[in-house]
Amino acid sequence: MKQFKLPHQLTSPTLMKKTTKGEGRTFRTEEEGAGMTSKGVSDYKKENPGSNLQTAVTGDVKPGSKDAGRRKSFCARSRGWTGERGKAARARWKC
């Protein structure tokens, strides 16, 4: 039988080891566009089964596609991000 974690037992990206340097890093630097790396996303998913975390939509997308909807939603949610990491993340998502 599979054991599930209770909400207070779950970890979040803020509790994960937030590294931006070296091999196995989980976050990008501001110069690279901030945000989590694919390794960071996979680590998060291992710690939090059932989560739907995905990496950034950075390429060209077809209008009306799921990725276009994710980008539009992210850009709307992050409109007020005025810090350096926020601006870098929005630039990476092409907001």
User: What is the domain partition of the chain in residue ranges?
Assistant: 1-55, 57-95
For residue 75, pLDDT beyond 60: yes
Cβ partners under 8 Å of residue 43, min gap 6: 16, 26
Question: pTM above 0.85?
Answer: no
For residue 12, pLDDT beyond 70: no
CB neighbour burial string for 46-84, b if at least 16 within 10 angstroms, e if fewer: ebbeeeeeeebbeeebeeeeeeeeebeebeeeeeeeeee
Q: What confidence tens digit (pLDDT) does each residue in 25-61 have?
A: 888 888 888 888 888 898 888 888 888 989 899 889 9
**90 or 20, greater pLDDT:** 90
